[in-house]
Amino acid sequence: MRRKAMRGAALAFCAALSAGPVGAQAPAEEPPAESLDPVDPAALAIASRAGDFLRQSQRFTFSADSGYEVVQEDGSKLEFGNARRYSVQRPDHVRVENEPREGDRRLTLFDGKTFTQVDLAENVYARADLKQPRDIDFMIDLVRERLDAPLPLAELLRNNPRQAIEDSLESAEVVGTERLRGVACDHLALRNPDADIQLWIAQGAEPVVLRVVITYRNLDGQPSFWADLEDWSFDPKLSADEFTYRPPEGAERVRFDVLPAPAPPAEDSE
């Protein structure tokens, strides 16, 4: 936004070397070992179950305490963070209450027709009215592509989280079972072309994600993002007013800083 910006798995490997005794006849050449699938079916099954569980949940809320690294010019890293509260009503309503550690309070709202970001401390807001109704997935892609804003937890909000988790997956493994805040979790390590992702998914009837760590391998300094997720609710009372912003007296409307629309792919010449 102009005036004040709305700032807003590693797989082990081994090599075995063997040599016969001196003078012994060379052993018959063994057939090459079968290549191992880097995507462990057990890890994929756990992640897919978590994605399916979220996909079937038409309304849910959760809180996230998160931190992210910012790489400095000398290569050092500083950590900043946010506390957020998410409210989702599929297929086209999202509310995110955001309180950065430095104390500002911000609000993001989407109701299928209007996308709004608000700086509550500055009493400033930006709003985009869409030409036709859209869903949550469209909003996520719009924010990433046109506002150049990172949304590390957005895959959990999509209408098909399982597909979002599985798309472009290069490797996956089960690290083990660990306890987070007294809950037994499956610790998974995933990798896609851009990032290494660790998920801690609760075991039991509600396989919710309780912790996320993302390391962005392709960015300078390979910064990381982490989030602890809690207070999951799958029967919240959500009203239409919670996804609508009515500017108070004196609120100033400003423009989004929008990137140019991506050019359409060039047609292959004959």
Which pLDDT score is estimated for 37? 77
pLDDT digits (tens, 9 = 90+) for 82-114: 999 999 999 999 999 999 998 889 999 999 999
With bands split at pLDDT 50, 70 and 90, how would you rate the model's confidence at 187?
very high
Residue 57 lies in a domain: yes
| Number of domains composing the chain | 1
pLDDT digits (tens, 9 = 90+) for 2-35: 444 443 332 222 222 222 333 344 445 554 544 5
Residue 67 lies in a domain: yes
With bands split at pLDDT 50, 70 and 90, how would you rate the model's confidence at 45?
very high
Spatial separation of the C-alpha atoms in residues 125 and 27, rounded to whole Å: 75
209: containing domain: 41-253
Residue 190 lies in a domain: yes
Asked if 89 and 59 touch (Cβ cutoff 8 Å), the reply is: yes
Residue 101 lies in a domain: yes
Residue 33 lies in a domain: no
Listed in sequence order, the DSSP H helices in the chain are 41-55, 136-146, 161-166
Q: Is the pTM of this model over 0.75?
A: yes
With bands split at pLDDT 50, 70 and 90, how would you rate the model's confidence at 263?
low
Task: Extract the tokens encoding 59.
Answer: 């309304």
Residue 8 lies in a domain: no
Residue 232 lies in a domain: yes
Spatial separation of the C-alpha atoms in residues 96 and 85, rounded to whole Å: 6
Residue 266 lies in a domain: no
Q: What is the CATH number of the domain that holds 173?
A: 2.50.20.10
